[in-house]
Amino acid sequence: MNQKKIKLMQEGGQLLASIKTQLGSMVKPGVTPLDIEHHANKLISQTGGQPSFKLVPNYHHATCVNVNDSLVHGIPTKQPFKNGDLVSIDLGLYYKGYHTDTSITVVAGSSSPKLQTFINVGYKALDAAIKAAIPGNRVSDISRAVQTTIEAAGYSVIRDLTGHGIGTKLHEDPYIPNFVDPNHHDSTLYSGQTIAIEPMYSMGDYQIKIESDGWTISSLDGSLTALVEDTIAITSNGPIILTR
């Protein structure tokens, strides 16, 4: 069963990876989050799958699009991107009975060394966390990899949001903090497990707030934030990245 699950999730994950890349390349000054959302719906419908996020109660969009200090769950708006905006796109695909989930952070228009370093550290943390996702290791090994990488670069990991198990449901156990939390149940990882690893971090403090729309979560101090995410399968031969 696990091999069949992984094969189907890899199939869906490859489709989602392609969609993520196409959406990321759309991020330019003058384009709106709603433009991204419309194109995501079109591309997802072409796969024969469904947008995972539309299966979340009371959420009506295929994507979450977050700009600058907005971290996650950003409802796509008509507000155009400006040159230098830091933009993250988070989306999921429900395909042949299984979910995959992925995120990308890019800059609209002209980037800067400061922004590029900030983004690159997230991918470095994600890759380190994926390497730690082997049978017999614990959730805290993933958390430690993210926290160590992000904090070594001088940034803060967000503490109130987590990565998660994923499969027939979008969010399953285990929940995977991005820091080593002594109060978190530290379960052992096993072969056949599928998880979404999701470094979320800020240039400033780790505290967050919920905006007035009831969904968008932003940094409390207004500092820039980013998230990157891949869905992976844990196997005895090492992790398989399903969404690249």
136-183 pLDDT, tens digit each: 999 999 999 999 999 999 999 999 999 999 999 999 999 999 999 888
Flag whether pLDDT at 1 surpasses 60: no
Q: How many CA atoms lie within 13 A of 73 on its CB side?
A: 17
What confidence score (pLDDT) does residue 12 get? 99
Q: What is the reported pTM?
A: 0.96
Mean per-residue pLDDT over the chain, rounded = 97
Residue type at position 59: Y
Tell me the C-alpha to C-alpha distance, in Å, between residue 44 and each of 16, 83, 230: 8, 28, 17
- Please list, residue by residue across 102-119, b when 16 or more beta carbons sit within 10 angstroms of its beta carbon and e when fewer do: bbbbbbbeeeeeebeebb
- Please list, residue by residue across 30-48, b when 16 or more beta carbons sit within 10 angstroms of its beta carbon and e when fewer do: ebebbbbbebbeebbeebe
Phi then psi for residue 174, to 5 deg, are: -85, 155
> Residue 107: pLDDT band by 50, 70, 90 thresholds?
very high
Q: Enumerate domains of the chain plus CATH numbers.
A: 2-236 (3.90.230.10)
